[in-house]
């Protein structure tokens, strides 16, 4: 029996990886032909095009893993059903549920791998791809370090900056306002300064410090030279443009959300993405729960029907996910529900699939 389980698992993994490679290749070819005219009109070198698609592969990998997994299932059990192998195993007294459990354990492993892969390789490749597309494909320069004007920055230790002008060449800023807030988003301290410079710590000149107690009483102090060692931000923090959400890993995104929340900002989109980072890897496991019992009862044309079911399920699932994310971004649906509702609905469907189909 153990040898049979090894045979089924190795077949599943073989079909899974084969399907994944083929699907990635198809996606790349479609994308390439869609954009070939643009590449030729800009005289993009062949190696730059190849590099661009190499950076794109991790994103396609994460997207297509669930589809490849259910294709693998229908191939394995489709052939076993077609050639009466499952019937032979049943007559020998083998519990077919053990094969179901084996594939589900593999699905758990694939889901864990998907999460780790998307939080490491995919976000790294996404940043590289963006820079490569701008500089090599679109022939535009990356934004250089230059003076920044009129921007907010949400710092560590509950400090919020508003800077009228920042010069990265000498790490100086002009016309600065700083707010210190507490856990209840109440301002406890405000600093206004005409000039600030980083000399190992931030030092401000012509500063006015306002401190507020719990009764909203205000104490005003004017200080010619004010050093604020509690400010954790370095000059490079103000020169870096904020990363897009898709280029942040879970840890970076979580910190970003916490900063925006402390400042009272709307973080609906970021919260949806934060929950989605956990919900998406589970799609593979949920689709296996749905498709495994179906794959064991398909008879004539089982593999072809299975492939059709795979495609339909993938499109329905993906459409449901995108719809919920859109509602979450707009604030119509709570972030947790927007990210997890498709998984909850399809999990219920999967449970009924397992309970309702005779094996």
pTM: 0.78
Domain match, 170 and 292 both: no
Domain match, 37 and 64 both: yes
Domain match, 130 and 12 both: yes
Instruction: Show the tokens assigned to 202.
Output: 């931030």
Structural domain contains residue 62? yes
The rounded distance, in Å, linking the Cα atoms of 99 and 6 is 10
CA distances from 288 to 101, 215, 284, 294, 296 (A): 10, 59, 6, 10, 12
Task: State the residue range of the domain holding 75.
Answer: 2-140+266-356
Structural domain contains residue 255? no
Domain match, 160 and 114 both: no
Structural domain contains residue 45? yes
- What lies within 8 Å, CB to CB, of 220 at 6+ separation is 208, 209, 210
Instruction: Show the tokens assigned to 121.
Output: 């390789």
The rounded distance, in Å, linking the Cα atoms of 194 and 205 is 6
Q: Of the candidates 189, 205, 240, which is a domain's last residue?
A: 240
Domain match, 182 and 221 both: yes
Q: Is 79 strand, coil or helix?
A: helix
Instruction: Show the tokens assigned to 115.
Output: 């999460």
Q: What confidence score (pLDDT) does residue 262 get?
A: 65
Q: Of the candidates 223, 240, 257, which is a domain's last residue?
A: 240
Domain match, 163 and 132 both: no
Instruction: Encode pLDDT of 310-349 as tens digits.
Output: 778 888 888 999 999 999 988 889 999 999 999 999 999 8
Domain match, 291 and 350 both: yes
Residue 150 φ/ψ region, left for φ over 0, alpha for ψ in the -120 to 50 degree band, beta for the rest = left
Contact 37, 255 (CB under 8 A): no
Phi and psi angles of residue 226, each rounded to the nearest 5 degrees, phi first? -120, 125
Q: Which of 246, 161, 247, 236 is nearest to 204 (CA)?
A: 161
The rounded distance, in Å, linking the Cα atoms of 47 and 53 is 10
Structural domain contains residue 300? yes
Q: What is the maximal distance between C-alpha atoms in the chain?
A: 91
Number of other residues whose CB lies within 10 A of the CB of residue 250 = 15
Q: Which of 141, 173, 194 is nearest to 239 (CA)?
A: 173
Domain match, 93 and 7 both: yes
Instruction: Show the tokens assigned to 125.
Output: 């490749």
- What's CA 226's distance to the chain center, in Å? 41
The rounded distance, in Å, linking the Cα atoms of 224 and 349 is 68
Q: Of the candidates 187, 222, 240, which is a domain's last residue?
A: 240
Q: What confidence score (pLDDT) does residue 77 get?
A: 82
Structural domain contains residue 248? no
Contact 82, 295 (CB under 8 A): no
How many domains does the structure of the chain reveal?
A: 2
- What lies within 8 Å, CB to CB, of 25 at 6+ separation is none
Domain match, 108 and 35 both: yes
Query: What is the 3 state secondary structure string of 311-334?
Result: HHHHHHHHHHHHHHHHHHHCCCCC
- Dihedral of alpha carbons 32, 38, 41, 45, sign: negative
Instruction: Output DSSP code: residue 282.
Output: G
Contact 87, 21 (CB under 8 A): no
Domain match, 158 and 234 both: yes
Give me the tens of pLDDT residue by residue for the chain, a chain 359 residues long. Answer: 678 888 888 999 999 999 999 999 999 999 999 999 999 989 999 999 999 999 999 999 999 999 999 989 888 887 777 767 776 777 766 677 778 888 999 999 999 999 999 999 999 999 899 889 988 998 887 665 667 888 888 888 888 999 999 998 889 999 999 999 887 778 899 999 999 999 999 999 999 999 988 777 889 999 999 999 999 898 888 876 677 888 888 888 888 888 777 666 778 888 999 999 999 999 999 999 888 887 777 665 557 777 787 778 888 888 999 999 999 988 889 999 999 999 999 999 888 877 766 55
Q: What confidence score (pLDDT) does residue 202 get?
A: 94
The rounded distance, in Å, linking the Cα atoms of 136 and 175 is 38
Q: What confidence score (pLDDT) does residue 302 get?
A: 59
Q: Which of 108, 112, 109, 132 is nearest to 120 (CA)?
A: 112
Structural domain contains residue 133? yes
Which strands, in side-by-side order, build the sheet including 172-181? 148-154, 159-167, 172-181, 187-198, 202-212, 218-228
Domain match, 7 and 116 both: yes
Instruction: Encode pLDDT of 279-304 as tens digits.
Output: 999 999 999 988 888 777 766 555 77
Containing H/E element for 193? Answer: strand 187-198
The rounded distance, in Å, linking the Cα atoms of 321 and 312 is 14
Structural domain contains residue 253? no
Structural domain contains residue 202? yes
Domain match, 294 and 216 both: no
């Amino acid at each position: 029996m153990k040898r049979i389980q090894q045979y089924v698992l190795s077949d599943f993994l073989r079909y899974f990886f084969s399907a994944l490679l083929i699907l990635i290749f198809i996606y790349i070819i479609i994308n390439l032909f869609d954009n070939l005219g643009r590449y030729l009109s800009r005289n993009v070198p062949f190696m730059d095009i190849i590099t661009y698609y190499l950076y794109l592969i991790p994103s396609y990998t994460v997207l297509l893993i669930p589809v490849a997994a259910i294709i693998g299932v229908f191939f394995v059990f489709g052939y076993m059903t077609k050639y009466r192998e499952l019937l032979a195993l049943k007559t020998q007294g083998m519990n077919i549920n053990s094969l179901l459990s084996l594939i589900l354990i593999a699905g758990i492993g694939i889901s864990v791998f998907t999460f780790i892969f998307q939080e490491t390789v995919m976000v790294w490749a996404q940043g590289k791809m963006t820079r490569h597309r701008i500089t090599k494909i679109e022939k535009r320069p990356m934004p250089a370090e230059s003076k920044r004007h009129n921007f907010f920055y949400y710092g560590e230790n509950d400090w919020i900056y508003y800077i009228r002008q920042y010069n990265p060449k000498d790490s100086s800023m002009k016309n600065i306002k700083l707010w210190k807030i507490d856990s209840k988003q109440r301002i406890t301290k405000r600093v206004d300064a005409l000039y600030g410079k980083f000399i190992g710590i931030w030092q401000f000149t012509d500063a006015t410090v306002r401190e507020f107690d719990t009764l909203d009483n205000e104490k005003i102090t004017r200080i010619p030279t004010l050093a604020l060692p509690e400010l954790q931000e370095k000059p490079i923090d103000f020169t870096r443009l904020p990363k897009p959400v898709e280029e942040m890993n879970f840890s970076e995104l979580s910190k970003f959300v916490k900063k925006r929340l402390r400042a009272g900002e709307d973080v609906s989109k970021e919260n949806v993405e934060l929950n989605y980072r956990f919900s998406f890897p589970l799609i593979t496991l949920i689709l296996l729960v749905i498709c495994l019992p179906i794959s064991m009862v398909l008879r004539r044309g089982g593999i072809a029907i299975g492939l059709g079911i795979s495609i339909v399920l993938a499109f329905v699932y993906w459409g449901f996910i995108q719809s919920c994310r859109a509602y979450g971004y707009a604030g119509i649906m709570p972030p947790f529900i927007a990210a997890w509702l498709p998984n909850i609905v399809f999990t219920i469907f999967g449970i009924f699939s397992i309970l309702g189909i005779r094996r």
